[in-house]
Amino acid sequence: PAPAPSRRGLANWDTRLQGDVASAQQALDYLERVSSQLESVKAALSAKLANLKSGARDLEAKARQLSATIAARSSQAGGAVDAELRFSADAPARQRFRIDGLDVEALQASAPVSLAFSVGGAGGPQLAAAIEPGMTPEQIATRLDRTLAPVKVRAKLDERGRLEFSTEEANWPAVRDSIAISGRGRASTEAVAPQSKLEGIANIVGNDSGSDAGGNADALRQSLREVV
């Protein structure tokens, strides 16, 4: 018969399970709060479209509250909700980003070329990716993915065939502030904006504040359709 698990092993498993449950509950509480605030924004949008006097003021306040909650996602969701507001039970949430000047077309045009990456004190010459003539976009993405994996950065092609990188959100500040490419110095990065239905509502409210409800009605109706 198989040996019974030790008490220490059971205790460690129980501790991990409790941590997972706590993280999931924190993420659930956060998503429920976002959902409630989103419903409030939808109601305020409807009120503004109906030309109610309180509509514009209420919409601005509700949108600011929702924006603040979205901005606090990393600290309030236990690291288990990504920028798309998707819950990740098995792996930490990730931040997607691009590196300025590092695109498939430029790499294909400059091949053969060797790129050496570093992130902070990690990496160095050993993190080198050789881009060879004739490589396809998929092959380039795979080569970069394997090269950057040791510093917890992954690479792939997005739905439009562009190079996209990602790292765990906890690792994002270090990557953002210190990733460097040999011969170029510190690389400039740009976070990929979430493809969320929430995107742009605050901008519409800001552009329309102080005007009558008809001034930006088409944009408001479009936003209302997107969040329904």
154 compared with 203, residue with greater pLDDT? 154
155 compared with 61, residue with greater pLDDT? 155
- Does residue 207 lie in a domain region? yes
Instruction: Note whether 66 and 142 are same-domain residues.
Output: no
Instruction: Note whether 64 and 99 are same-domain residues.
Output: no
Instruction: Note whether 40 and 124 are same-domain residues.
Output: no
Instruction: Note whether 141 and 172 are same-domain residues.
Output: yes
46 in Cβ contact with 225 (< 8 Å): no
- Does residue 160 lie in a domain region? yes
In whole angstroms, give the CA distance from residue 155 to residue 157: 7
- Does residue 11 lie in a domain region? yes
Question: pLDDT by residue (tens digit) across 78-129?
Answer: 878 887 788 877 778 888 899 988 899 999 999 999 998 988 765 444 688 9
- Does residue 2 lie in a domain region? no
Instruction: Note whether 111 and 185 are same-domain residues.
Output: yes
Instruction: Note whether 139 and 178 are same-domain residues.
Output: yes
Question: Which residues span the domain enclosing 123?
Answer: 94-191
- The whole-chain average pLDDT of the chain stands at 77
Instruction: Note whether 98 and 81 are same-domain residues.
Output: no
- Among 114, 148, 154, 156, which Cα is nearest to 132's? 114
Instruction: Note whether 142 and 218 are same-domain residues.
Output: no
Does the pTM surpass 0.75? The reply is no
Tell me the HSE value of 203 on the side-chain side, using a 13 A CA sphere.
Answer: 5
Instruction: Note whether 135 and 219 are same-domain residues.
Output: no
Instruction: Give the total number of structural domains in the chain.
Output: 2
Alpha helices in the chain (DSSP H): 7-49, 55-71, 73-76, 104-110, 137-148, 172-178, 201-208, 217-227
pLDDT score recorded for residue 131: 94
164 compared with 186, residue with greater pLDDT? 164
In whole angstroms, give the CA distance from residue 205 to residue 200: 9
CATH code, domain with 168: 3.30.70
Question: pLDDT by residue (tens digit) across 165-200?
Answer: 999 888 888 888 888 887 565 677 877 755 444 444
- Does residue 173 lie in a domain region? yes
- Does residue 212 lie in a domain region? yes
- Does residue 1 lie in a domain region? no
Angle at 45 between CA 42 and CA 48, to 5 degrees: 155
Cα dist from 16 to 10, 19, 112, whole Å: 10, 5, 47
Instruction: Note whether 101 and 143 are same-domain residues.
Output: yes
- Does residue 202 lie in a domain region? yes
CA 185 to chain CA centroid, nearest Å? 25
Alpha helices in 93-188 (DSSP H): 104-110, 137-148, 172-178
Instruction: Note whether 63 and 76 are same-domain residues.
Output: yes
